[in-house]
Amino acid sequence: MDIVIKNGLVIDPENKIYSKLNIGIHNGKITAVSQDDLHGNEVIDAKSMIVTPGFIDGHMHEDEYDIDKDEFSISIFDCMLRMGVTTAIGGNCGDGPSRPDLYIDAVDRKGLPVNFGLLVPHNGLRRLVGENDKYKKASKKNIEKMRNITEEYLDKGCLGISFGIRYVPGIDMEELLTVSEALKKDRKIVAAHIRDDAKQVIPSAMELINVGINLEVPVQVSHIGSMGAYGQMESLLTLIDNYKAMGLDISSDCYPYSAFSTSLGETTYDDGFLSRYETTYESIEIGEDEYRGKRLNEELFFKLRKERPELITIGHVMKDEEIDMAIAHPAVLIASDGFMHNFQGHPRASGTFPRVINKYVKEKKLISLYDAIEKMTYLTAKRYGLRNKGGLSVGKDADIVIFNFDEICDNATFENPSLPPNGIKFVIVNGKVAVKDNEILNRNLGKSIRR
């Protein structure tokens, strides 16, 4: 065997394992899970530590890929790896590469710090067909073109399609349904940043739910914290549970922070946002460059929104108790929604998964460690059809995290969002050690995830 992990407490929710066992790895796969003594070329003594499947982030925003230079601008992927993520899914909120097929081909050619799959980003489709006005309804001809392109990308391995309805308010039900029809062949997932939040979150969720009902495809309500953590969370979770009980394959995800993040020029900040969130300009913080850490006032808001619309912002407007409610719900997955520009942005990109264990398992005791691991591994793998990820069965890909439960905690802050966590001792990607004690030893072990 190439690597043997001994003496650790193995937590594998896919197989309902919670015992001290030894794990053997060979040629990138798990080859043994046993109480017997195992021997290998490298032995990791995990005594007093937890051994779990690598964390899976089903909703993040990938680093850019330059097609002409054939290179990735690595930022968030390093942060993912250091916090124990071994597999990530991008193309979310409808945002991502217009050629997702070329992106995942480059992953296999060059490698990434983590394994990576893509949803077809709807905004990229709009760019390809020349629908550049986000407030305008697309033509029937271009909607049909987008549907055909989507089918092509799905056939090349994309995991589903993602819409950013909030960010492209010109989308109507015709566009949602026609483009999403491409999912029916293989019953792949439709995910969305829904049209509106706060007091309008329920009708906005229903718009997406109706896509799933009409097409009989799985539905993912993205980052429900940033959509409903303003006093509507109980109603939103109840709505999702109701349609689940009626047979709809529907789920959601949440990150463990009460502040959202988006670019200053996005439609989130169109007229009326202050009353929608019942807040002031001072609740909005700039997350990068020379304005990093600065809170806005009315004058600076309009100046920067015009001159620097790409700036990352952080909106400190959500309710902590509503985030708690979402994280505690047994069917809500953990996902970061992280994005970064040159290691600047929101701390969720570096702290989400350790923070769930530290804050919600150890401090608040809202969920058990087993349930937290399930939300961060098996449930996400199952949701996106990742058959070789999310578990520790013999034959699975050897993506593994080893951490000290007493030590694990997130260190990333709004002032320093890229700080790695404490307590994660080893991260193994495809059978090789990628991280040891926060030091990245190999950042190109990741492969594309296709379905």
What is the structure's pLDDT at 380? 98
Q: What is the DSSP string of 236-281?
A: HHHHHHHHHHTT--EEEEE-S-S-EEEETTSGGGSTTHHHHHT--G
Q: How many residues does the chain have?
A: 451
pLDDT on residue 242:
98
> What's the mean pLDDT when you consider all of the chain?
97
CA distance 385 to 217: 13
pLDDT at 49: 98
Nearby residues of 131 by Cβ (< 8 Å), 6 or more positions away: 138, 139, 142, 170
Backbone angles phi, psi at 369, to 5 degrees: -60, -40
Q: Report the DSSP beta bridge partners of residue 251.
A: 220
What is the spatial distance between Cα 394 and Cα 212, in angstroms, rounded to a whole number? 35
H/E stretch holding 215? helix 201-215
Tens of pLDDT, residue by residue over 416-427, are 999 999 999 999
Evaluated on CA atoms 168, 174, 179, 181, the torsion sign reads: positive
Mean pLDDT across the stretch 331-350? 96
Give the per-residue pLDDT at 373: 98
Can you tell me the mean pLDDT for 104-117?
97
- CA atoms of 387 and 392, how far apart (whole Å): 12
Tell me how far apart the alpha carbons of residues 177 and 157 are, in angstroms, rounded to a whole number.
21
Alpha carbon separation from 412 to 79, 292, 354, 442 (Å, rounded): 10, 15, 10, 22
pLDDT at 4: 98
Which strand (E) or helix (H) includes residue 59?
none
Model pLDDT for residues 224-275, shown as the tens digit of each residue: 999 999 999 999 999 999 999 999 999 999 999 999 999 999 999 999 999 9
pLDDT by residue (tens digit) across 254-265? Answer: 999 999 999 999
Q: Are 293 and 414 in contact (CB under 8 A)?
A: yes
Query: Quick one: average pLDDT of 405-433?
Result: 98
Sign of the CA dihedral running 288, 291, 293, 296: negative
Torsional class of 437: left (φ above 0), alpha (ψ -120 to 50), beta (otherwise): left
Annotate 70-84 with DSSP letters as a single string: TEE--SHHHHHHHTT
**Verdict on whether the full-model pTM lies above 0.95:** yes
Backbone torsion region of residue 32, taken as left when φ is above 0, otherwise alpha when ψ lies between -120 and 50, otherwise beta = beta
Q: In angstroms, rounded to a whole number, what is the distance separating the alpha carbons of residues 215 and 197?
A: 24
Rounded average pLDDT over 152-181: 98
208, with CB counted inside 10 A (0-12, 13-18, 19+), is buried
Q: What is the mean pLDDT of residues 93-105?
A: 96
% of the chain at pLDDT higher than 70: 100
**CB-based contact 327:367 (threshold 8 Å):** yes
Helix (H, G, I), strand (E, B) or coil at 418: coil
DSSP state of 67: T
The residues spanned by each domain of the chain are 54-258+318-388
The DSSP result for 325-373, as a single string, is HHHHSTTEEE-----EETTEE-THHHHHHHHIIIIIIIIS--S-HHHHH
The CATH superfamily of 54-258+318-388 is Metal-dependent hydrolases (3.20.20.140)
pLDDT in tens, 136-158: 999 999 999 999 999 999 999 99
Amino acid 26: pLDDT:
98
Average pLDDT over residues 86-99: 97
Q: What is the pLDDT of residue 383?
A: 97
Q: Which residue shows structure tokens 């996400």? A: 380
Residue 171: band (very low, low, confident or very high) from pLDDT cuts 50, 70, 90: very high
What does the pLDDT read at residue 417? Answer: 97
Longest Cα–Cα distance of the chain, Å, equals: 67
> Residue range 17-35: average pLDDT?
98
Contact predicate 44/381, CB 8 Å = no
In which element (H, E) is residue 37 found? Answer: none
Residue 384: its pLDDT value, please? 97
Q: How confident is the model at residue 187 (pLDDT cuts 50, 70, 90)?
A: very high
Q: According to the model, what pLDDT value does residue 324 have?
A: 98
Q: CB–CB of 125/146 below 8 Å?
A: yes
Q: What single-letter amino acid sits at 104?
A: I
Rounded CA-CA distance 212/188 in Å is 11
Q: Tell me, what amino acid is at 391?
A: G
**Euclidean distance between CA atoms 340 and 342, whole angstroms:** 6
Instruction: Give 402's pLDDT tier (boundaries 50, 70, 90).
Output: very high
Contact, 189 vs 159, CB < 8 A?
yes
Contact 303, 223 (CB under 8 A): no
